[in-house]
Amino acid sequence: MTQSERMTQLLDLLKKQGSWSIADLAAHFAVSEETVRRDVRQLEGDGRALKVHGGVRLPDTQLEGPYRLRMREQAEAKQAIARAAAGLISDGMTVLLDSGSTSFYVARALAPLRRLTIITNNLAIANEMVGRADHRVFFAGGEVNNDYRATFDAGAIAYTRSFVPDVAILSMGAIEAARAFLDFEPAEAAYKRAVLDRMRRVVVVADAVKFGRPASVHVADFAEVHDLMTDAAPPADIAAAAQRGGTRVHVVSKGRDDG
């Protein structure tokens, strides 16, 4: 049986039963659990399944559709950027992961690490990290934005500001030379802006599509961001502005930090 045939049958099983454990799927298909996990990762990247602790289920499209769509956009670049960003993090660190889709991929890339303290305002990231490798996971509660699967309100801000993370991983919607880091959703931008000064190191993860993209809400200046992880060299004006502001640009190729 090919992988494509197996994944088609896996989806049929989920449609009939709703959820399956990884172990039961491995037994059903007579393959290893790692093979099933690879299939599940691919299905999740396509928005067709949702990984949960020890298993997989169909996604709730009403709640997760917009977020899953963003995960599929530039997915290969985001995953490479995420692996490089994870290389900046060591066992035992305290890490803030925001609500961006690239930040979710960073959460996955942290799998080899131990004893992390994770703060997040994103439900999908909290679910991904909880119960894994001695990590402590703190969710910034508040009203959940359905499109972003995240909290942005005053309660979420106050809770997040009670921590002093070693590293903050922030996704961005756009990057310009004159206005630096921007986003589209005012509440999301306000959350990020409000917690910046608590972070020891701010790392922005953004694929090259974000360069020069028009956006309307300011999040941070280059002087407030230590590192920019991306998959292609930025335009000359953005590169110059980043250098003036002290932001180190890491250009990632095939999952490595080449910057």
**Average pLDDT value for the chain:** 90
Residue 255 pLDDT level (bands cut at 50, 70, 90): very low
- The two tokens of residue 145 are 């934005």
Looking at residue 130, the DSSP 8-state letter turns out to be T
The answer for residues whose C-beta is within 8 angstroms of residue 249's C-beta and 6 or more apart is: 227, 228, 230, 233, 234, 239, 242, 259
Looking at residue 68, what is its pLDDT? 64
Of 59, 79, 102, the last residue of a domain is 59
Domain that holds residue 26: 3-59
Is residue 192 domain-resident? yes
What CATH number is attached to the domain comprising 112?
A: 3.40.50.1360
Q: Which of 22-26, 70-74, 193-197, 210-214 has the lowest mean pLDDT?
A: 70-74
Domain count, the chain: 2
Looking at residue 16, what is its pLDDT? 77
For 246, other C-beta atoms within 10 Å of its C-beta total 11
Residues 135, 43, single domain; the answer is no
How far is 28 from 118, CA to CA, in rounded Å? 35
Looking at residue 17, what is its pLDDT? 74
Is residue 91 domain-resident? yes
- Read off the pLDDT of residues 44-93 as tens digits, 9 standing for 90 and up: 877 788 888 889 987 754 334 566 667 667 788 999 999 999 999 999 99
Residues 192, 101, single domain; the answer is yes
Residues 24, 107, single domain; the answer is no
| pLDDT of residue 258 exceeding 70 | no
Residues 10, 84, single domain; the answer is no
| pLDDT of residue 195 exceeding 50 | yes
Residues 39, 73, single domain; the answer is no
- Read off the pLDDT of residues 2-21 as tens digits, 9 standing for 90 and up: 888 898 999 888 877 778 99
Is residue 64 domain-resident? no
Looking at residue 206, what is its pLDDT? 96
What CATH number is attached to the domain comprising 50?
A: 1.10.10.10
